[in-house]
């Protein structure tokens, strides 16, 4: 590097912003070198610690498979001496956290939503990411497609039918807010209960896909974008903690935060890749009769990783952005098809009904204390909140990467309100169509058979499509969409992990991204073959608790950071 860096202070980016002047130079802890013909540029402790500990945990999950599974997902208390029902050994770490800290997850998520809504209405919302004169890097369409595909695409495919139908007809007693069941003990419909059950099912589903998850993502994304574009700190999770820990974020405090983020991202991706392959395989079996076994799943993971590699090599604009736009178009077509095939009028009234029900029930549903519907709160809501939170470093960092040039108000509205509305439309359409099938023909409905009579989550979407015309075509589109969403996640995940392990450098050599993308696929395959996917996913979700605290601190950091920005404008 040249010496003229000693120019007085750091210039502002585009227009006024409150730069943080730190002694830290981005890349000062990095190691550059060659492995064979390929160059690398990695952050010294973070890269090594995260890749070695990932290798270690994969080893642990394989060699001590039963022990790991018992620890994270619990044992059957009745069969094990000395283990009482409801104790830690029975629940496992994951359920222990979601059942004992449900009040904490729910309260924290409420804080995030209120915080984001406040940002929209207060003057702090006028701050622009990247300085007062910055212009957006992406058009609304491209930006929106990317944040949506990274944020929840795959979940919509998996839960769009499953969740509303589950709440509508669950015989397991975890109806949201103790709502009525539309089925009598002998399985016949109770006409009087149908409307109320449908209303609650939609409201409870939308609750998990609406404002709360997007507020979680918005908090992380906003803090990263603010501290890197406006304050000049590296684009990595630790930078958001500068107002709290000061210069210590460049030391071990920061190493631990970044390593945790890499950890949650890679395992989150690898386990989802494993489960995604199982879902795609279940779909292929259901529609085409292709055998459902690990060989097919390993082939699917290999194919998904191979396509992701092509996209990785094509970069952000040529890869992820293009894929996200393809996703959005296919998803919109599928949505329109279901909308019209299942009766647009009924579904649109379901959409507004769902919106109204959500508005009416959001307060009781988000109430963290004194709830009696523990099956719903602990089994679903707390689980979802922990899940969104453990994914937030990945999604948040990706959203931050593409959001320069937006004002905070614009950012929060677009990350919070618009995706929530799309999710509501999606859930109202897929869930509404599926519930309609269940009501019209309880005995013959494939959805009821796969969700309520026997619990078979990966099939639910295809079972609903079966009840509509052209199901062979639409199911194939569904499978393609599942796969493309996974490719997008795998690709953007590699981008994020590479940036964190390169100390916030976005221009580290490309082979590093190829390494992470391949590593993800390899971890998924190893876990799929050796077992342990479930235990690891439980572990990822368990990281939700420490991250919730981290996110609460982030809100404070954002508030401080934005106040400084306001003073400069």
Could you list the residues that contact other proteins (CB under 8 A)? 1-2, 4-5, 7, 10-14, 19, 25-27, 30, 36-38, 130-131, 137, 228-229, 232-235, 313-318, 401, 404, 504-510, 513
Q: How far is the CB of 233 from other proteins (least distance, A)?
A: 6
CB 330 within 8 A of CB 480: yes
Q: How far is the CB of 45 from other proteins (least distance, A)?
A: 18
Nearer to other proteins, 235 or 389 (CB): 235
Nearer to other proteins, 76 or 133 (CB): 133
**Burial of 250: CB neighbours in 10 Å, binned 0-12, 13-18, 19+:** buried
Cα–Cα distance measured from residue 382 to residue 106, given in angstroms and rounded to the nearest whole number: 7
Cα–Cα distance measured from residue 209 to residue 472, given in angstroms and rounded to the nearest whole number: 28
Cα–Cα distance measured from residue 219 to residue 356, given in angstroms and rounded to the nearest whole number: 26
CB 539 within 8 A of CB 72: yes
Q: How far is the CB of 395 from other proteins (least distance, A)?
A: 17
Q: How far is the CB of 18 from other proteins (least distance, A)?
A: 12
If phi over 0 gives left and psi between -120 and 50 gives alpha, with beta otherwise, what is residue 63? alpha
Cα–Cα distance measured from residue 291 to residue 514, given in angstroms and rounded to the nearest whole number: 31
Nearer to other proteins, 429 or 499 (CB): 499
CB 190 within 8 A of CB 184: yes
| Residue 452: φ, ψ to 5° | -95, -45
Cα–Cα distance measured from residue 162 to residue 282, given in angstroms and rounded to the nearest whole number: 14
Coil, strand or helix at 82: coil
Residue whose pair of structure tokens reads 């709440």 in the numeric block: 167
Q: How far is the CB of 11 from other proteins (least distance, A)?
A: 5
Q: How far is the CB of 112 from other proteins (least distance, A)?
A: 24
Nearer to other proteins, 404 or 409 (CB): 404
Q: How far is the CB of 507 from other proteins (least distance, A)?
A: 4
Nearer to other proteins, 36 or 370 (CB): 36
Nearer to other proteins, 381 or 488 (CB): 488
Nearer to other proteins, 255 or 401 (CB): 401
| Residue 369: φ, ψ to 5° | -125, 155
Nearer to other proteins, 36 or 82 (CB): 36
Q: How far is the CB of 389 from other proteins (least distance, A)?
A: 24
Q: How far is the CB of 405 from other proteins (least distance, A)?
A: 8
Nearer to other proteins, 208 or 505 (CB): 505
Q: How far is the CB of 332 from other proteins (least distance, A)?
A: 25
| Residue 86: φ, ψ to 5° | 90, -10
Q: How far is the CB of 48 from other proteins (least distance, A)?
A: 20
**Burial of 326: CB neighbours in 10 Å, binned 0-12, 13-18, 19+:** middle
Alpha-carbon distance values, 396 to 206, 392, 465, 496 (Å): 21, 5, 32, 10
Cα–Cα distance measured from residue 25 to residue 232, given in angstroms and rounded to the nearest whole number: 10
Nearer to other proteins, 93 or 308 (CB): 308
Q: How far is the CB of 558 from other proteins (least distance, A)?
A: 18
Q: How far is the CB of 235 from other proteins (least distance, A)?
A: 5
Nearer to other proteins, 255 or 404 (CB): 404
Cα–Cα distance measured from residue 145 to residue 159, given in angstroms and rounded to the nearest whole number: 20
CB 255 within 8 A of CB 50: no
Nearer to other proteins, 315 or 546 (CB): 315
Nearest Cα to Cα of residue 411 among 147, 260, 229, 222: 222
Nearer to other proteins, 323 or 357 (CB): 323
CA 470 to chain centre: 31
Nearest Cα to Cα of residue 265 among 546, 34, 490: 490
CB 298 within 8 A of CB 267: no
Nearer to other proteins, 14 or 285 (CB): 14
Coil, strand or helix at 30: strand
Residue whose pair of structure tokens reads 């109320």 in the numeric block: 196
CB 242 within 8 A of CB 233: yes
Nearer to other proteins, 375 or 511 (CB): 511
Alpha carbons within 13 angstroms on the beta-carbon side of residue 393 total 34
Cα–Cα distance measured from residue 166 to residue 457, given in angstroms and rounded to the nearest whole number: 10
Coil, strand or helix at 23: coil
Kind plus residue range of the DSSP H or E element containing 392: helix 382-401
Q: How far is the CB of 123 from other proteins (least distance, A)?
A: 24
Q: How far is the CB of 495 from other proteins (least distance, A)?
A: 8
């Amino acid at each position: 590097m040249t010496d003229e860096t000693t120019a007085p202070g750091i210039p502002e980016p585009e227009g006024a912003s409150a730069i943080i002047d730190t002694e830290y130079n981005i890349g000062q802890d990095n190691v550059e070198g060659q492995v064979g013909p390929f160059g690398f540029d990695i952050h010294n402790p973070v890269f090594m610690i995260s890749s070695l500990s990932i290798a270690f945990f994969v080893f642990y999950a394989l060699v001590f498979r039963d022990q790991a599974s018992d620890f994270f997902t619990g044992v059957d208390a009745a069969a094990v001496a000395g283990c009482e029902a409801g104790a830690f050994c029975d629940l496992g770490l994951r359920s222990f956290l979601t059942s004992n800290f449900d009040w904490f997850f729910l309260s924290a998520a409420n804080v995030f939503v209120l915080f984001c809504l406040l940002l929209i209405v207060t003057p702090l919302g006028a701050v622009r990411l990247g300085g007062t004169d910055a212009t957006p890097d992406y058009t609304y369409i491209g930006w929106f497609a990317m944040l949506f595909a990274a944020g929840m695409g795959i979940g919509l495919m998996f839960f769009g039918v499953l969740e509303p139908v589950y709440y509508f007809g669950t015989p397991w007693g975890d109806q949201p807010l103790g709502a009525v069941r539309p089925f009598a003990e002998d399985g016949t419909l109770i006409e009087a209960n149908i409307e109320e059950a449908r209303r609650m099912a939609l409201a409870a589903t939308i609750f998990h896909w609406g404002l709360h998850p997007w507020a979680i993502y918005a908090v992380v994304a906003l803090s990263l974008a603010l501290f890197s574009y406006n304050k000049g700190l590296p684009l990595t999770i630790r930078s958001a903690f500068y107002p709290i820990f000061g210069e210590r974020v460049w030391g071990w405090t920061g190493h631990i935060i970044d390593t945790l983020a890499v950890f949650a991202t890679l395992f989150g991706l690898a386990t989802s890749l494993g489960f995604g392959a199982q879902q795609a395989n279940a779909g292929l079996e259901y529609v085409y009769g292709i055998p459902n076994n690990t060989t097919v799943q390993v082939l699917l993971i290999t194919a998904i990783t191979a396509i992701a590699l092509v996209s990785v090599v094509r970069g952000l604009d040529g890869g992820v952005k293009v894929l996200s736009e393809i996703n959005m178009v296919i998803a919109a077509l599928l949505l329109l098809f279901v909308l019209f095939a299942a009766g647009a009028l009924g579904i649109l009234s379901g959409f507004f009904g769902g919106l109204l029900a959500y508005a009416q029930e959001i307060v009781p549903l988000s109430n963290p204390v004194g709830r009696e519907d523990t099956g719903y709160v602990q089994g679903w809501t707390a689980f979802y909140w922990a899940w969104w939170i453990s994914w937030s470093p990945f999604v948040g960092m990706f959203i931050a990467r593409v959001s320069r040039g937006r004002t905070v108000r614009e950012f929060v509205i677009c990350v919070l309100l618009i995706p929530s509305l799309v999710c509501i439309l999606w859930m109202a359409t897929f869930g509404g169509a599926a519930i309609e099938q269940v009501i019209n023909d309880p005995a013959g409905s494939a959805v009821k058979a796969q969700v309520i009579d026997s619990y078979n989550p990966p099939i639910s979407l295809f079972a609903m499509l079966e009840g509509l015309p052209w199901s062979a075509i639409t199911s194939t589109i569904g499978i393609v969409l599942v796969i493309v969403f996974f490719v997008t996640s795998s690709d953007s995940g590699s981008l994020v992990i590479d940036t964190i392990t390169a100390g916030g450098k976005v221009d580290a050599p490309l082979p590093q991204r190829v390494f992470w993308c391949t590593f993800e696929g390899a971890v998924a395959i190893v876990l799929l073959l050796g077992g342990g996917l479930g235990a690891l996913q439980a572990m990822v979700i368990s990281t939700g608790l420490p991250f919730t605290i981290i996110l609460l601190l982030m809100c404070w950091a954002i508030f401080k950071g934005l106040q400084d920005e306001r003073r400069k404008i």
